[in-house]
Amino acid sequence: MTTMNQESFAQLFEESLAHIDMRPGALLKAKVVNITPDWVIVDAGLKAEGVIAKEEFVDLQGNLEVSLGDEVEVILDDIEDGRLSREKAKRAEAWAELVRAHEDNRSVLGTIVGRVKGGFTVEVQNIRAFLPGSLVDVRPIRDTSHLEGKELDFKVIKIDQRRNNVVVSRRAIIEKENTEERNAILEKLHEGQEVKGTVKNLTDYGAFVDLGGVDGLLHITDMSWKRIRHPNEIVSVGEEINVKVLKFDRDRGRVSLGLKQLGSDPWSAIKDRFPLGEKLRGKVTNITDYGCFVEIAPGVEGLVHMSEMDWTNKNIHPSKVVQLGDEVDVIVLEVDEERRRVSLGMKQCHANPWKIFADKFNKGDVISGKIKSITDFGIFVGLEGNIDGLVHASDISWTTSGEDAIRNYKKGEDVEAIILAIDPERERVSLGIKQLQGDAFNDYAETHPKGDVVTGEVTEIAAKQVIVKLAEDVLGQIRVADLTKEKVEDPNSVCKVGDSITAKITNVDRKTRVISLSVKALEAGSKTKESKKSVRSGEPSIAQTTLGDILKEQMNQKSDSAE
């Protein structure tokens, strides 16, 4: 009887198996009969209970999805040993759901889990789908960190199970939602309105804010009253902020937003708050090649031009004087409320070394210092108070030309000079070296005015003039036409270098330091005197026996001697 019962049970069991799909990959219904720390035991109606790893029954958060007695679907992996898979069953179920969603044009939930070339990987019910970068949003988004790891709605736009290929789009969902919400929002939107939105994307020039189906641009200049370099200093992607509608183009659907306009304008009544000459303390917020910007109040920055940073270091780069974040003392120099500009000065917080020098020294004082630099136009000498004085090339020597005189000096050399002028307003001190010595030319000109008859030594004979040394460092010049009353082709026929010659001063030019002489004018004066004397005495004129005849006689004598 026992044998008969066993045979009947075996027969019945075999008959029951005949109704179960026993092909590899078949989807079976199974009941959870036991749960251990590592395994889930299920009864799928096979010869033996199936043992499946517990990890195949957990969700994305790691929570167990089943309990004892639950009925679940599993896949028959292997007929011989009855191996079952819940993971494959879940995957098959997910594929089926994706196919239905694609056919019914429904959205599915998914999570962006990684980046790939051209887009992102999206986990949709344990199936990896591809999200092209162009389909993330209605406009390109550089930073998607606020979207990653969150469960979002996607639309299945392409599916091929055989190739394991699924393409989804978030943009299609947003466009659909935006169409309805956008129209509703556009109807209510108006300029001056304060609205709430979420920062969707950041660019170098601003941020795009989602107002609930309508995107508005929050330009970087409308984010804060103070200067900022990038929008990420004020807002971040995913942040919910209140903004004000500045402009609204209903036809084109463009909205300009402002954040700083929600607060009071820090530039209002700026002249009253920061009067000229007031000393303030501020923080360096930006450094440029031409100066630095200092924040003197929240949202109010002033420029300290490089020329206003230091009394003496005029050409030094601002970064050598201050650093970002430094707190510095400044003086208000100018306020332009209309153009929103404040000019500040740092050097004015310290004593002006040029005025100190002007109070201590006077014109005519003799000072000494080291040569700090040499230029084509003069020599700069370091003076007390770390200021420079200029010895112009024309004030180096009475007799040597400027360029030649400059060559006699070297950087670092100690020199003595006299103060010619002090101009603290223009920050200039003019010095002179030649003025320490007497001016032979001026001394000579004082005692030998125009019309005076002088005698000198011929030092140089040129084609058009003869140079005569009248005194030490004093030269006169005689034009060839003024050597004699007669025409002279070659001045060497009239005089030689080393000859002593007497002439009349016809002009003294102190500016060019030239004394013009004329023998011809002296002869003419001599003739006039002789003529007057002859008339008075009744004797014949002897005007022809003056300096001209004497010169001719000297020339004849030299010729005879040569023979």
Instruction: For residues 394 and 399, give the distance between their C-alpha atoms in angstroms, rounded to a whole number.
Output: 10
**Intra-chain end-to-end CA distance of the chain, in Å:** 181
- Given a contact cutoff of 8 angstroms between Cβ atoms, the answer to whether 14 and 26 are in contact is no
Looking at the domain covering 105-174, what would its CATH class be? Answer: mainly beta
Kindly report the pTM of this predicted structure: 0.45
Instruction: For residues 403 and 376, give the distance between their C-alpha atoms in angstroms, rounded to a whole number.
Output: 7
Question: Residue 259: its pLDDT value, please?
Answer: 92
The CATH architecture one would assign to domain 353-436 is Beta Barrel (2.40)
- Given a contact cutoff of 8 angstroms between Cβ atoms, the answer to whether 1 and 39 are in contact is no
Q: Which two tokens stand for residue 71?
A: 């009925």
H helical segments located in 352-477? 353-360, 402-406, 440-447
Question: Residue 21: its pLDDT value, please?
Answer: 52
Secondary structure class of 470 (helix, strand, coil): strand
- Given a contact cutoff of 8 angstroms between Cβ atoms, the answer to whether 349 and 329 are in contact is yes
Residue 558 zone, left/alpha/beta (φ > 0; ψ -120 to 50; rest): alpha
Q: Which two tokens stand for residue 36?
A: 């251990």
447-555 CATH fold:
OB fold (Dihydrolipoamide Acetyltransferase, E2P) (2.40.50)
Domains 189-262 and 353-436 share a fold: yes
Q: Could you tell me which of 217, 243, 220 has the C-alpha nearest to residue 230?
A: 220
Question: Residue 224: its pLDDT value, please?
Answer: 87
Q: Which two tokens stand for residue 265?
A: 């304008």
**Residue showing tokens 């189906």:** 213
Secondary structure class of 294 (helix, strand, coil): strand
Tell me the pLDDT of the chain (563 aa) as tens digits.
444 455 554 444 444 444 455 566 677 778 888 888 888 887 777 766 777 777 777 776 777 777 888 887 777 765 555 567 677 777 777 788 888 888 888 888 889 988 888 899 998 877 889 999 888 887 777 778 888 888 889 999 898 877 888 999 998 887 777 676 677 777 788 888 899 999 988 999 999 998 877 889 999 999 988 878 899 989 999 899 999 999 988 777 789 999 988 888 888 888 888 999 999 999 999 999 999 999 998 888 999 999 899 888 877 899 999 999 999 999 999 999 888 899 999 999 988 999 999 999 999 899 999 999 999 899 999 998 889 999 999 888 887 777 888 988 999 999 999 999 999 988 899 999 988 887 778 878 888 888 899 999 999 988 888 999 888 878 899 998 888 888 888 888 888 999 899 999 999 887 778 899 998 888 876 665 555 554 444 444 433 444 555 555 555 554 454 44
Question: Residue 25: its pLDDT value, please?
Answer: 62
Half-sphere exposure of 306 (CA within 13 A, CB side): 14
Which residues have a Cβ under 8 Å from the Cβ of 268 and sit 6 or more positions away?
none
Question: Residue 553: its pLDDT value, please?
Answer: 57
Which residues have a Cβ under 8 Å from the Cβ of 558 and sit 6 or more positions away?
none
State the angle between helix axes of 519-537 and 547-562 in degrees (0 to 180), rounded to the nearest 10.
120
**Residue showing tokens 């003496």:** 312
Enclosing H/E stretch for 503: strand 500-509
The CB density around residue 188, as the number of other CB atoms within 10 Å, is 8
Enclosing H/E stretch for 119: strand 119-124
Q: How far is C-alpha 36 from the chain's CA centre?
A: 68
Q: Could you tell me which of 217, 220, 216 has the C-alpha nearest to residue 205?
A: 220
Question: Residue 15: its pLDDT value, please?
Answer: 46
Annotated domain spans of the chain: 17-92, 105-174, 189-262, 270-349, 353-436, 447-555
The CB density around residue 554, as the number of other CB atoms within 10 Å, is 13
Instruction: For residues 150 and 484, give the distance between their C-alpha atoms in angstroms, rounded to a whole number.
Output: 112
Question: Residue 297: its pLDDT value, please?
Answer: 87
Instruction: Confirm or reject CATH 3.60.150.10 for domain 17-92, answering yes or no.
Output: no
Looking at the domain that runs over 189-262, which CATH code has it been given? 2.40.50.140
Instruction: Confirm or reject CATH 2.40.50.140 for domain 270-349, answering yes or no.
Output: yes
- Given a contact cutoff of 8 angstroms between Cβ atoms, the answer to whether 494 and 458 are in contact is no
The 10s digit of each residue's pLDDT in 177-207 is 767 667 777 778 888 889 999 998 899 999 9
Question: Residue 488: its pLDDT value, please?
Answer: 82
Secondary structure class of 69 (helix, strand, coil): coil
